[in-house]
Amino acid sequence: GADLKERAKMHSSEVSSFVSRARATINELANLPVPTIAAIDGTALGGGLELALACDIRVAASSAKMGLVETKLAIIPGAGGTQRLPRTIGVSLAKELIFSARIVDGEEAKSIGLISHVVKQNEAGDAAYRRALALAREFLPQGPVAMRVAKLAINQGMEVDLVTGLAIEEACYAQTIPTKDRIEGLLAFKEKRPPRYKGE
């Protein structure tokens, strides 16, 4: 999250600019055309959780601490938290967590759908990071164009009705048809070998 000691020294006009830049940066992360995974091994409060919410997948250690705690400071999440948390865990529960400024651990975060995976923390303190790497290794062999347009179809489709979402999916699927990677995938399947995708 933000450095609150630094924030206390900022003029009110500086705060708006700071939050606006944070929001823009977090939106850029959300819009990256590749899968993103947040590994939470420690604390993700306020802006830290907003950053994690902008990722496609979140993994946390059971001992991790997460929360949008801004209401304790008489402000609200300003870098996407009021929009991404409800879309992740549902409106009512998001309101409860934001209104109470509650901090949850990895186990509770998993039970409410805030994270996809919870792992027991290891001695090195990097259990979530290791699990995130394992997930990334599962994603890596897939066709790069397919990964990009699948993310686009999911992200855009979640913001519209089903009929419009299906049209978005159709348009995204169409982008994969003329690719060399699609032909490579079919050949690799036929020849019983791993595909060698080039993102073309």
Q: Which residues are catalytic?
A: 2, 47, 50, 70
3-state SS track over the chain: CCCHHHHHHCCHHHHHHHHHHHHHHHHHHHCCCCCCEEEECCEEECHHHHHHHCCCEEEEECCCEEECCHHHHCCCCCCCHHHHHHHHHCHHHHHHHHHHCCCEEHHHHHHCCCCCEEECCCCCCCHHHHHHHHHHHHHCCCCHHHHHHHHHHHHHHCCCCHHHHHHHHHHHHHHHCCCHHHHHHHHHHHCCCCCCCCCC
